[in-house]
């Protein structure tokens, strides 16, 4: 989820738990196995990360929400992003216990918000919610479970100052990065749920080998507390870009009651080239997976691209052209609505507004080598 990239060099960071698992998988399955590659490629630095490629973006999108007025005082609220009507993203910290090599926020500055900053965000969410459709918060980072006291304080502040917030989603990879760090401080947060407040826990599991016994135990505890748990997965070359790996993954997720959400095509960012399949291959794999009868319809994900203007799920008519290695995607994102939700947002150079007022975006395709 987060770290810091300096001069194009994203530091390797592997938790003790993950290091032990990688070493164990190497012994059990061998270093040439799919299981070992699935972990090593995700967490160990790869020589191709520093090679030049067309993937030049430093960030997956620019969606920072610049707010400078709270309680009639001039303040600038950091750590927020907004692309959608119903939800705001809040990042209490940008620290993680491990660095995923395909990290979306590896080029973000490292910070941890103070209690005062979190309180002001909660008050803002309550204020803006009074005259808009805001009813959901995604708390991500970094990993918010790294700072459970700040997470608890922020949620209490939302309960007090933002009654419009009905759903709180908490994104964490500690479930697979270091499950031993998840304790009562987090479970007590989930116990705050009520008829008016729903908790959902988001994680990311890209290969079935990551369903370690310790991970499964944490998932069981989360479910016992009544929180939904879902996984947003990334299609990664060499990790899960084959039909057997994907079917095994989604069948295993169903077994442990992890809801499927998006299967993302790997984003066109610096250092990602060796991870990126073509979109066409992703479409082929998804078709083979969901139309084969080899998995339950309750296990099927949505295949989506994370573009400069937000998530774009691929349906009939979404891809309207291809030129110079880029796909042209027609979205239903209204430019006028986007500016209402986030007045500080700027239309990127890769996008334009069509005659219907919706945004069309160019997206760099991957290559199957």
Query: Which residues are CB-contacts of 216 (< 8 A; sequence separation ≥ 6)?
Result: 256
CA nearest to 286, candidates 246, 258, 251, 323: 246
**Spatial contact of 22 and 36, defined as CB atoms under 8 Å apart:** yes
pTM score: 0.94
Q: For residue 173, give the DSSP letter.
A: S
How many residues are there in the chain? 369
Would you write out the chain's pLDDT as a tens digit for each of its 369 residues? 444 454 557 899 999 999 999 999 999 999 999 999 999 999 999 998 988 899 888 888 888 887 765 556 666 788 999 999 999 999 999 999 999 999 988 878 889 999 999 999 999 999 887 668 899 999 999 999 999 999 999 999 999 999 999 999 999 999 999 999 999 999 999 998 888 899 999 999 999 999 999 999 999 999 999 999 999 999 999 999 999 999 999 999 999 999 999 999 999 999 999 999 999 999 999 999 999 999 888 899 999 999 999 999 999 999 999 999 999 999 999 999 999 999 889 999 999 999 999 999 999 999 997
Torsion (CA) 322, 324, 325, 326 in degrees, nearest 10:
-50
**Spatial contact of 203 and 173, defined as CB atoms under 8 Å apart:** yes
Q: For residue 226, give the DSSP letter.
A: T
Say how far apart CA 205 and CA 184 lie, in whole Å: 23
Q: Which two tokens stand for residue 278?
A: 């073509």
Strand partners, 235: 265
pLDDT score, position 194: 82
pLDDT score, position 152: 97
pLDDT score, position 63: 85
Q: Which two tokens stand for residue 249?
A: 């993954």
Domains (range + CATH), the chain: 16-316 (3.20.20.70)
Strand partners, 127: none
**Spatial contact of 125 and 88, defined as CB atoms under 8 Å apart:** yes
Q: Which two tokens stand for residue 115?
A: 């209690």
Say how far apart CA 300 and CA 254 lie, in whole Å: 10
pLDDT score, position 196: 84
Q: Which two tokens stand for residue 218?
A: 């944490």
Say how far apart CA 99 and CA 49 lie, in whole Å: 13
Phi-psi region at 257: left, alpha or beta (left = phi > 0; alpha = psi -120 to 50): left
Residue-wise burial string across 31-44, b where 16 or more C-beta atoms lie within 10 A, e elsewhere = eeebbbbbbbbbbe
> Is residue 175 packed enough to be buried (19+ CB in 10 Å), middle (13-18) or exposed (0-12)?
buried
What does the H/E/C string look like for 297-351? HHHCCEEEEEECCEEEECCCCCEEEEECCEEEEEEEEEHHHHHHHCCCCCCCCCE
CB atoms < 10 A from the CB of 340, how many?
Answer: 12
Q: For residue 7, give the DSSP letter.
A: T
Please give the backbone phi and psi of residue 237, each rounded to the nearest 5 degrees, phi first. Answer: -60, 130
């Amino acid at each position: 989820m987060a770290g810091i990239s300096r001069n194009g060099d994203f530091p390797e960071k592997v938790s003790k738990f993950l290091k032990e698992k990688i070493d164990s998988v190497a012994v059990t399955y061998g270093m040439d196995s799919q299981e070992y590659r699935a972990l090593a490629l995700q967490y160990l630095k790869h020589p191709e990360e520093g090679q030049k490629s067309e993937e030049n973006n430093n960030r997956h999108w620019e969606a920072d929400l610049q707010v400078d007025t709270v309680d009639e005082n001039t303040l600038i609220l950091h750590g927020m992003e907004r692309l959608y009507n119903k939800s705001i993203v809040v990042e209490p910290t940008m620290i993680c216990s491990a660095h995923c090599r395909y990290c979306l926020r590896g080029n973000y500055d490292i910070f941890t918000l103070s209690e005062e900053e979190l309180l002001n965000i909660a008050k803002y969410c309550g204020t803006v919610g009074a005259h808009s459709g805001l009813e959901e918060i995604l708390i991500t980072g970094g990993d918010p479970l790294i700072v459970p006291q700040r997470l608890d304080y922020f949620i209490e502040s939302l309960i007090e100052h933002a009654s419009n917030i009905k759903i709180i989603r908490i994104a964490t990879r500690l479930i697979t990065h270091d499950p031993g760090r998840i304790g009562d401080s987090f479970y007590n947060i989930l116990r705050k749920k009520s008829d008016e407040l729903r908790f959902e826990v988001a994680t990311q599991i890209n290969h079935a080998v990551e369903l370690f016994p310790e991970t499964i135990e944490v998932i069981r505890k989360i479910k016992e507390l009544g929180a939904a748990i879902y996984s947003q997965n990334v299609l990664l070359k060499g990790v899960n870009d084959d039909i057997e790996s994907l079917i095994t993954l989604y069948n295993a997720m169903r077994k442990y009651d992890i809801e499927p959400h998006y299967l993302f095509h790997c984003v066109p960012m610096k250092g990602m080239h060796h991870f990126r399949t073509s979109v066409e291959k992703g479409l082929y794999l998804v078709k083979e997976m969901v139309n084969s009868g080899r998995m339950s319809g309750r296990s099927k994900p949505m295949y989506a691209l994370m573009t400069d203007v937000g998530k774009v799920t691929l349906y009939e008519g979404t891809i309207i052209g291809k030129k110079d290695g880029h796909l042209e995607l027609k979205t239903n994102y209204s430019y006028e609505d986007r500016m209402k939700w986030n007045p500080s947002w700027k239309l990127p150079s890769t996008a334009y507004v069509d005659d219907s007022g919706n945004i069309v975006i160019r997206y760099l395709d991957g290559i199957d080598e």
